[in-house]
């Protein structure tokens, strides 16, 4: 029974995704209630449920892979529900079918939905694009040897206009993490909103350069169907076209807004996973070069993305086999709680500056302490700037 539970716990994300879809179709106050419920599940759940440091062995890993693949139809359902909610008609007869099935008039509820509740639909849809889409795709696109996983992963990323993630993250970020060359690593003192823009632009440039070099080695030019960057962006354009076909310009515009929010979430997560870290480029990536957390609800519903320290030390390890590394540097709390804190810069710096200073003292190598002192001098944060030249005990 215990072993069965370890399989079952990773299906929590399916439950949360279906909850989001029901809330979106329900409209009105149900949409906002669904958003609040998701926030409570993650933030309160992580606060009261403690850590999960178990490392069970799985005899049937194919079950867990199939579960990852199921994210694509689940996300498609959620996004379709969101597009239906802003469409002038009843695409695919969804409203009529749900009303007939449940007796609850979802078409009337949609017509009476206040603009504030529509903001809730936008927030929860973007949240699901990030969690059901990007987090699952992160795991799948690391499986470069599996064409099915790569195909599904890239389509999941297309929902956030971010198929380049399958290139830059795997071949760029994992190589340069915690160095100045990595677009996704936020230097000390950086504002999260600036990081969203800077990391997006630099990440796209990095992915293009990586792909052009790959094509050149194969004897191909950059402007062709072989270019995965171009193909990926066309996949996202195709999804916008589908949104337009479903509900006209209103649906297409709403999809773009949700996709950009989902993409922003990825960059916020990048921000908090490596904020302020420094690494000697000559040294291999080690668990201490990522902020880690073992909060139970985040771990179960995000496929151990929380165990980021082990993931960066061994990027090829499947999520179910990642170890908790409780001795690694720890985030503020679970993922959604840390996302909320990151979006409030004064609070973020108040809580993270002591952690960064402790990282310099407890985790940095002698070479990295030199890099840390330079980073502190540039940070603009008085507490960190005061660390410049301050001896750090070994």
As a whole number, the mean pLDDT across the chain is 95
Say if CB 299 and CB 306 are below 8 A apart.
Answer: yes
Model confidence at 1: pLDDT above 60: no
Model confidence at 26: pLDDT above 60: yes
Question: Rounded to an integer, what distance in angstroms lies between the CA atom of residue 204 and that of residue 62?
Answer: 33
Stretch 35-47: mean pLDDT, rounded? 96
For residue 361, the model assigns a pLDDT of: 94
Question: Rounded to an integer, what distance in angstroms lies between the CA atom of residue 290 and that of residue 274?
Answer: 5
Stretch 381-392: mean pLDDT, rounded? 73
**2 pLDDT band (50/70/90 cuts)?**
low
Model confidence at 394: pLDDT above 60: no
Q: Kindly report, residue by residue over 145-185, the tens digit of the pLDDT.
A: 999 999 999 999 999 999 999 999 999 999 999 999 999 99
Q: Kindly report, residue by residue over 182-223, the tens digit of the pLDDT.
A: 999 999 999 999 999 999 999 999 999 999 999 999 999 999
**387 pLDDT band (50/70/90 cuts)?**
confident
Question: Rounded to an integer, what distance in angstroms lies between the CA atom of residue 292 and that of residue 329?
Answer: 6
For residue 392, the model assigns a pLDDT of: 46
Question: Rounded to an integer, what distance in angstroms lies between the CA atom of residue 85 and that of residue 77?
Answer: 12
For residue 337, the model assigns a pLDDT of: 96
Q: Kindly report, residue by residue over 239-289, the tens digit of the pLDDT.
A: 999 999 999 999 999 999 999 999 999 999 999 999 999 999 999 999 999
Question: Rounded to an integer, what distance in angstroms lies between the CA atom of residue 343 and that of residue 98?
Answer: 37
For residue 81, the model assigns a pLDDT of: 98
- 35 to 24, 121, 277: CA distances (angstroms): 9, 8, 32
For residue 5, the model assigns a pLDDT of: 87
Percent of the chain at pLDDT > 90 equals 94
**388 pLDDT band (50/70/90 cuts)?**
low
Stretch 387-391: mean pLDDT, rounded? 57
Model confidence at 389: pLDDT above 90: no
Percent of the chain at pLDDT > 70 equals 98
Q: Report the chain's C-alpha Rg in angstroms.
A: 22
Helix (H, G, I), strand (E, B) or coil at 190: coil
Say if CB 75 and CB 18 are below 8 A apart.
Answer: no
Question: Rounded to an integer, what distance in angstroms lies between the CA atom of residue 94 and that of residue 84?
Answer: 8
Model confidence at 391: pLDDT above 90: no
**4 pLDDT band (50/70/90 cuts)?**
confident
């Amino acid at each position: 029974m215990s072993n069965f539970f370890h399989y079952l716990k990773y299906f929590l994300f399916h439950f949360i995704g279906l909850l989001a879809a029901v809330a979106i179709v329900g409209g009105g106050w149900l949409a906002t209630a669904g958003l609040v419920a998701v926030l409570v599940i993650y933030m309160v759940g992580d606060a009261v449920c403690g850590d999960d440091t178990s490392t069970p062995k799985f005899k049937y890993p194919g079950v867990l892979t199939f579960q990852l693949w199921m994210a694509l139809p689940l996300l498609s359902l959620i996004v379709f529900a969101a597009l239906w909610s802003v469409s002038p008609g009843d695409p695919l007869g969804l409203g009529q079918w749900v009303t007939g099935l449940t007796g609850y008039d979802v078409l009337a509820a949609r017509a009476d939905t206040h603009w504030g509740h529509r903001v809730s639909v936008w927030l929860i849809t973007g949240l699901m694009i990030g969690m059901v889409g990007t987090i699952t795709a992160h795991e799948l696109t690391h499986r470069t040897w599996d064409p099915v996983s790569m195909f599904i992963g890239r389509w999941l990323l297309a929902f956030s206009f971010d198929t380049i993630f399958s290139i830059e993250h795997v071949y760029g970020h994992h190589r340069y993490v915690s160095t100045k060359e990595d677009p996704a690593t936020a230097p000390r003192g950086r504002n999260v909103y600036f990081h969203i823009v800077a990391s997006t632009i630099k990440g796209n440039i990095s992915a293009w350069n990586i792909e052009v070099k790959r094509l050149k080695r194969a004897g191909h030019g950059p402007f062709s169907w072989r270019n995965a960057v171009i193909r990926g962006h066309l996949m996202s354009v195709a999804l916008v076209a589908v949104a337009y076909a479903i509900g006209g310009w209103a649906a297409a515009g709403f999809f773009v807004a949700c996709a950009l929010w989902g993409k922003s979430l990825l960059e916020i997560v990048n921000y908090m996973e490596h904020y302020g870290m420094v690494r000697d480029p000559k040294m291999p990536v080690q668990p201490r070069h990522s902020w880690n957390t073992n909060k139970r609800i985040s771990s179960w519903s995000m496929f151990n993305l929380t165990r980021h320290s082990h993931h960066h030390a061994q990027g090829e390890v499947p999520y179910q086999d990642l170890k908790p590394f409780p001795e690694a540097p720890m985030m503020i709390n679970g993922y959604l709680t840390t996302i909320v804190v990151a979006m409030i810069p004064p609070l973020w710096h108040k809580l993270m500056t002591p952690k960064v200073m402790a990282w310099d003292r407890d985790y940095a190598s002698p070479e990295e302490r030199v890099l840390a002192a330079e980073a502190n001098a540039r940070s603009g944060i008085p507490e960190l700037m005061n660390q410049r030249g301050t001896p750090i005990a070994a």
